[in-house]
Amino acid sequence: MKTPAKKRLGRPAGTGNAEATRERILKAAMQCFAKGGYTQASNKQIAEMAGITSGSLYHYFGSKAELYGAVLLNVLSTLVEAYRSSALKHEHSVDKLCAGLERVIIISSEQPGLMEFASMAHGEVQRYPELNELLSNDHQEFYTFFIELLSEAHQQGELLVPVEAAVHTLIACTTGLSLIRSSLEREEQFANALRAFQSLLRGAFFKQN
């Protein structure tokens, strides 16, 4: 896709609900990228799945890289929001985290392709130069969430390890868990892995001596 003139971006004339169309495109693109990867997913295929013409895709996204970036932002926001909203309903940090992981299990089963997309994004963004700039601040939101949650846990005497080390460890584990989705055949295996991780957080993974 070439970048169209600026005035063509945004809501095209005569479209009833541009926001709904944009959502449909993002959903279709997420599934196509998850299935075929960044290079194999075609604009034609994405437009067809979204029920629009390839031409009108240009009204919404100036390039394939821009579309990929919008999907990535959407996916990361969905995941951070899953943790944030779940955290509000619980008092203890470990309950907040486990509720967030349960929410991710639901999102993963309700939105096919979302975790597969997230799983592959780490590699895709590094592989293609035009996607490199997307790395920027997107992961920062996860860091912010974990820093806030674990600092509070520390203040309340719930955290038994240093805050900084705890942040790095949880970022590493949750990143690793999102990466494995694409190597697992069944949704259930992913859910089971996230539940085993909850047991790890609760000290109920190994029988303690």
Catalog residues that contact a second copy under the rule CB under 8 A: 92-95, 122-123, 126-127, 153, 157-162, 164-166, 168-169, 171-177, 179-180, 184, 189, 192-193, 195-197, 199-209
Choose among 98, 82, 79, 83: nearest CA to 146.
83
Residue in the block written with tokens 């705890």: 166
Shortest distance in whole angstroms from residue 186 CB to a second copy: 11
Q: Which is nearer to a second copy, 1 or 171 (CB)?
A: 171
Nearer to a second copy, 26 or 97 (CB): 97
Instruction: Give me 132's structure tokens.
Output: 């490199």
Tally of CB atoms within 10 A around 119: 20
Least distance between a second copy and beta carbon 143 (Å):
10
**Shortest reach from residue 109's CB to a second copy, in Å:** 16
Reading the block at residue 51, the tokens are 């029920």
Give the CA count within 13 Å in the CB-facing half-sphere of 41.
24
Torsional class of 171: left (φ above 0), alpha (ψ -120 to 50), beta (otherwise): alpha
Give the CA angle between residues 99, 123, 3 to the nearest 5°: 105
Report, in Å, the least distance between residue 209 CB and a second copy. Answer: 6
Tokens of 47: 């437009």
For the bound state, the minimum distance from the C-beta of residue 117 to a second copy, rounded and expressed in Å, comes to 15
Q: Return the number of the residue (7 or 209) whose C-beta is nearest a second copy.
A: 209
Cβ proximity to a second copy, 94 vs 107, nearer residue: 94
Does residue 171 contact residue 143 with C-beta atoms inside 8 Å?
A: yes
Which is closer to a second copy, CB of 48 or CB of 102?
Answer: 102
Nearer to a second copy, 14 or 203 (CB): 203
Minimum gap (Å) between residue 66 Cβ and a second copy: 21
Q: Distance (Å, rounded) from C-alpha 134 to C-alpha 60? A: 18
State the greatest distance between any 2 C-alpha atoms of the chain, in Å, as a whole number.
69
At 131, list the tokens.
Answer: 């996607």
